[in-house]
């Protein structure tokens, strides 16, 4: 059925800003490419664990921003400010609860996602770099948990952090320096809180966001792996990602050339 003039006018009005943006940035094409790219036909629920980890991270970021509006990072006020968030701020208990439990959810999901990648053999060529980026994300995720644990400034927080810092201090050579850096003084005190807070809400999340961007770029570039029981080959054809590097180092050398004596 032919479109009415009215409908055509509405469509043109709706598309005008999209076309404007596309012409100046190419963003719309980029988003289309991302959303409509090919994935193997037999991907399954286990391959949603990465996106689940991403969702958990976003929840942490959003609830963290709300908590930072009320939290006071110094020994005199930290504990009180947490009590205030929990008992007085509207829905503060919910936001704090989501952030606290969400931290464990995030880490558990990262481990489950990593397990899936391992069991599917998805860490193999050409995805080794993405496995390395993922491993860094795992370490940073756990550091996020460690630095956040001190912030409520109650007995559990204080002593758990004391144990964590002392453990680091026992590492060979660098141990005492790491412990000194984390503590920011002779003992856990005001400088430790502000240090942990700065790492917890600026340094580590910033690094995590950068690495997640790289991680997802690599997922899109390399394509998603099919399950190991799949009859069809992995997402994208290998030829498209064959490295340009030196033969034998990162490119396969044909068997005859690599044999000794040839
Ligand atoms: C902040 C944490 C992480 C986020 C948000 C994240 C996100 C994702 C997403 C959305 C995908 C594509 C879909 C999927 O396979 O689930 C993916 C794939 C992948 N991830 Fe992660 N990931 C994280 C941590 C990790 C860790 C800890 C590892 C391993 C050490 C890892 C290694 C990989 C690899 C190798 C792929 C490619 C898998 C394939 O092509 O099938 N990731 N990640």
At 110-157, the pLDDT tens digits run: 999 999 999 999 999 999 999 999 999 999 999 999 999 999 999 999
Q: What is the pLDDT of residue 147?
A: 97
pLDDT score for 241: 55
Token duo for residue 71: 């939290």
Decide: 200 and 148 in contact? Cβ < 8 Å. yes
Q: Which atom of ligand 1 is nearest to the CA of 208?
A: 1
197: which residues sit within 8 A by CB, 6+ positions away? 71, 73, 147, 151
pLDDT in tens, 250-260: 666 666 654 45
Dihedral in degrees, nearest 10, Cα atoms 138, 142, 145, 150: -150
Is it the case that residue 242 has pLDDT exceeding 70? no
Structure tokens at 147: 């630095």
pLDDT, position 96: 98
Tokens of 49: 């664990």
Instruction: Check if 123 has its Cβ closer than 6 Å to any atom of ligand 1.
Output: yes
pTM: 0.86
Q: How far is CA 80 from CA 14, 42, 72, 151, in A?
A: 51, 52, 9, 11
Residue 243 pLDDT = 62
* Residue from 77, 61, 70 nearest 91 by CA: 70
Which atom of ligand 1 is nearest to 51's Cα? 10
Cis? peptide before 126, omega within 30° of 0: yes
Query: Per-residue confidence at 249, pLDDT binned at 50, 70, 90?
Result: low
**152: CA distance to ligand 1 center in Å?**
31
pLDDT, tens digit, 9 for 90 and up, residues 63-122: 999 999 999 999 999 999 999 999 999 999 999 999 999 999 999 999 999 999 999 999
Question: Separation of 215 CA from ligand 1 center, angstroms?
Answer: 7
Each residue's pLDDT tens digit, 15-67: 999 999 999 999 999 999 989 998 888 899 999 999 999 999 999 999 999 99
Tokens of 235: 């997402």
Contacts 24+ apart (CB under 8 A), 247-254: none
CB of 127 sitting under 6 A from ligand 1: yes
pLDDT digits (tens, 9 = 90+) for 163-203: 999 999 999 999 999 999 999 988 899 999 999 999 999 99
Q: Whose CA is nearest to atom 7 of ligand 1?
A: 50
């Amino acid at each position: 059925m032919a479109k009415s003039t009215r409908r055509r006018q509405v469509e043109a009005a709706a598309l005008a800003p999209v076309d404007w943006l596309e012409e100046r940035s190419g963003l719309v094409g980029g988003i289309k490419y991302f959303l409509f790219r090919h994935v193997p036909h037999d991907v399954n629920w286990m391959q949603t664990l990465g996106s689940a980890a991403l969702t958990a991270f976003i929840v942490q970021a959003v609830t963290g921003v709300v908590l930072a509006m009320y939290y006071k990072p110094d020994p005199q006020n930290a504990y009180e400010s947490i009590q205030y968030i929990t008992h007085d701020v509207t829905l503060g208990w919910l936001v704090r609860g989501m952030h606290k439990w969400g931290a464990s959810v995030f880490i558990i999901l990262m481990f489950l996602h990593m397990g899936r990648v391992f069991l599917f053999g998805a860490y193999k060529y050409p995805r080794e770099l993405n496995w390395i980026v993922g491993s860094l994300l795992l370490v940073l995720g756990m550091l996020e948990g460690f630095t956040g644990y001190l912030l409520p400034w109650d007995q559990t927080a204080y002593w758990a952090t004391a144990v964590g810092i002392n453990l680091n201090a026992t590492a060979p050579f660098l141990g005492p320096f790491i412990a000194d850096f984390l503590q920011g003084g002779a003992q856990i005190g005001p400088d430790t809180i502000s240090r942990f807070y700065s790492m917890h809400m600026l340094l580590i999340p910033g690094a995590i966001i950068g690495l997640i961007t790289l991680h997802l770029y690599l997922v899109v570039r390399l394509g998603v792996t099919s399950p190991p029981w799949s009859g069809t080959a992995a997402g994208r054809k290998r030829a498209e990602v064959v490295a340009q590097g030196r033969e034998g180092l990162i490119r396969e050398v044909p068997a005859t050339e690599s044999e000794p004596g040839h």
